[in-house]
Amino acid sequence: MSTSTDSQQVAYERYDRTTSRWGRITMLLGLLLSWAAPAYLVFFTDLQPSQAELWTGFLAVAAVFAAVWVIEPITYFPVLGPAAMYQAFMIGNIANKLLPSAIVAQVAIDAKPGTRRAELAAVTAICGAVVVHVVSLLVLVGALGTWLVGVLPESVVEVARLYIFPAIIGAVVVQLAAFVQQPRVTVIAVVVAALTQLVLVPTVPAVANFATALVVLVTMVLAWFLRNRSTQHPAPGRPETKDSP
């Protein structure tokens, strides 16, 4: 048993080093490719934006998404783990596709967040989600999507556009609540989100762009101060049993 555990430990450490190395390389290549089109426009066309225009554009984007740059990695990492984080941020559609897939896979095999078993489940689930997504895009969207939208009544299309995104996000919220099994934190998050959307944003419209970041931060603070302090946690360094690969 000890020999098997040691070999698993060595294999996982090798896996972690490999995914970290190639994950960084892949993300850097993706960053360079994302700069290719703007660089071409700047250096090989007549488009010559000034420094003021570049900074104005950057600040306009940062005003909306800067909080997300910090909050998303912190929020997703406990569920996905290092390797799946590289996958997720390279692929995109994390909240409405990859994260739910990882959570469903972890629940299916009863893997606790933060364990090796959960990390490996997230990696394989994301691979499966990408394959299903690409195939469904080619068949359902590419071949049948335009035809289906054309034959549906306009009223049905308008209703679908209005409710499809809330339906997806609602399903993700339910999955997360069932996965973490923390009723107190779930209630805090729902109450904070409702108060922010229904009270704070209509009262102070200027905070609308930062509503998501505000909800996350307030929920984290309240969950910390209102947590159940009587819960007994396992001693540090206790070996994993059920969730070890």
pLDDT digits (tens, 9 = 90+) for 127-177: 998 898 888 888 877 777 778 777 888 888 788 778 877 887 787 778 777
pLDDT digits (tens, 9 = 90+) for 28-52: 998 899 888 888 888 888 877 788 8
Residue 13 lies in a domain: yes
The last residue of one of the domains, among 153, 186, 218, is 153
The last residue of one of the domains, among 109, 138, 153, is 153
CA dist., res. 233 & res. 236, Å (int): 9
The boundaries of the domain holding residue 39 are 1-45
Confidence of residue 236 (pLDDT cuts 50, 70, 90): very low
Same domain, 76 and 23: no
Looking at residue 126, its pLDDT comes to 92
Q: What's the rounded mean pLDDT across residues 206-218?
A: 81
CA dist., res. 87 & res. 84, Å (int): 5
pLDDT digits (tens, 9 = 90+) for 81-97: 888 899 888 888 887 78
Residue 56 lies in a domain: no
Report the phi/psi class of residue 45: left, alpha or beta, with left for phi > 0 and alpha for psi in -120 to 50: beta
Residue 222 lies in a domain: no
Whether residue 244 has pLDDT greater than 60: no
Residue 74 lies in a domain: yes
Residue 118 lies in a domain: yes
Predicted TM-score of the model (pTM): 0.57
The last residue of one of the domains, among 131, 153, 175, is 153
Same domain, 86 and 14: no
Total number of domains in the chain: 2
Q: What is the DSSP string of 15-30?
A: HHHHHHHHHHHHHHHH
Same domain, 12 and 86: no
Residue 227 lies in a domain: no
Residue 187 lies in a domain: no
